[in-house]
A = this chain, B = another copy of it.
Amino acid sequence: MMKEVDFMKPKYQIILDDLKSYILSGTYKAGEKIPSEFALQEEYNVSRQTIRKAILDLSNEGFLRSEKGSGTYVSTQYRSRTSGKTMNRTIGVITTYISDYIFPSIIRGIESRLNEDNYSLLLASTNNDISQEKKALEMMLSYGVDGLIIEPTRSNVYNPNIAYYLSFKEQDVPFTMINAYYEELEVPFFCLDDVQSSYLATRELISKGHTHIGIIAKMDDLQGKFRLKGFIKALGEAKLRFQQEHVLSFDTATKSNLSANLEIYLNDNRDDLTALVCYNDEVGLEVVNVCRILGISIPDELSIIGQDNSYIAKNANIKLTTLTHPQEQMGRDAADWVIKNLQGKKDLPTNTYYQPVLIEGETVKVIEVE
């Protein structure tokens, strides 16, 4: 269900947000003069009052300071609000989703580890939307968290929020990424070996005699990219041809249409495919549901294999064959890394890959060789 697009923000709010972003991302550095009201008025094509409203509000928030006759300056101490207050040890967590799929488990792992060292957990989610990620990062920056754990948003497309991450680096706030990472950013991460995951999935199908295998692939995150890669790798090793028409791709935006697209895809390839590698268990379940509608029996007519070993795989009436995902452990490890980093520990792992393991369910059938 799509959330309503933002209400039309008032103009002054847009300008305010812009300015705040520039300040937090370091485009306007502390003490620097920002453009004059007149200049901004020209730039945004609004009246001076509108500009003033934005600047006044930011001054009240403590980000700016205006000097009559001189100009408006970035306040030098906008982030020293923790100064007098009792330092509370807080770790920020930015995740794509809060309530969906395996993310709650990951958060749980983080929380339980932080709890052991009396750190608090400041939570924000992005719904895999880059503008929401920006807002979350701004919140964390102005909050002054001690560390950060981020699950990247749309990790396979260019991310315009890199400046914020660099801000954290400048301020020596340790952060790490889970599930994926931004390739343009040098940063430690904790990830499943996604190539291996779908490689193993595909190999399992091949070893059971399948030769006509399709894949449902996600295109806007690294996981999707790597999982497609593993699929192709396994096909290649088995000397099976990779066929573009056997790939059904989707992304965050088109996810809501997946069910309908699946129906078309499965109908089109009904006689061609005997097995399907799914992006994850969630997609796997979707396939199961669509197959039920189409009267395709699983695994007799179609074998499917999911990934991530989520509750879906375990709890659906037909147990999905799937591959493990560390979930809670990954969360724990990431939290542990941040805590150890804050304690000044050296030689912490930079890139951690977890190896997936196959879990047999009831959705893969052995094909007899004729």
Contacts and interface: CB of A to CB of B under 8 A. Distances in A.
Interface of A: 60-62, 81, 84-88, 90, 97-100, 103-105, 107-108, 111, 115, 118, 120-125, 135, 139, 142-144, 285, 288, 312, 315-318, 328
Secondary structure at chain A's binding surface: helix, strand, loop or mixed?
mixed
A179 to B, nearest CB: 15
Given A62-B86, A99-B108, A123-B123, 8 more contacts: A60-B84, A61-B86, A85-B144, A100-B104, A107-B123, A111-B125, A115-B124, A122-B123
24 contacts: A60-B84, A60-B86, A62-B85, A81-B87, A81-B88, A88-B142, A90-B122, A98-B107, A98-B111, A99-B328, A100-B104, A103-B104, A108-B125, A111-B125, A115-B124, A120-B122, A120-B124, A120-B139, A120-B143, A121-B123, A123-B123, A312-B315, A317-B317, A317-B318
A60 B62 contact: no
Contact of A108 (B62, B98, B111, B121): B98
A135 to B, nearest CB: 7
Query: How many identical chains are in the complex?
Result: 2
B84 A62 contact: yes
Contacts of A115: 124, 135
The 3 tightest CB contacts between A and B, nearest first, are A317-B317, A99-B104, A99-B108
A312 B107 CA distance: 20
A99 to B, nearest CB: 3
A125 to B, nearest CB: 6
Contact of A139 (B99, B105, B118, B143): B118
Given A100-B104, A105-B99, A317-B316, A86 B124 contact: no
Contacts of A60: 60, 84, 86
Nearest to A285: B315
Contacts of A111: 98, 123-125
A315 B285 CA distance: 8
A316 B285 CA distance: 9
A93 to B, nearest CB: 8
Contacts of A123: 107, 111, 121-123
B121 A124 contact: yes
Contacts of A124: 111, 115, 120-121
Contacts of A97: 108
Contacts of A142: 86, 88
A338 B317 CA distance: 40
A84 B88 CA distance: 13
B316 A88 contact: no
A107 B104 CA distance: 10
A29 B154 CA distance: 51
Nearest to A107: B98
Scoring A98, A144, A312 by chain B CB atoms within 10 A of each residue's CB, the highest score goes to A98
Contacts of A288: 317
Contacts of A285: 315
Scoring A60, A85, A107 by chain B CB atoms within 10 A of each residue's CB, the highest score goes to A85
Contacts of A317: 288, 316-318
Contacts of A86: 60-62, 81, 142, 144
Contacts of A125: 108, 111
A88 to B, nearest CB: 5
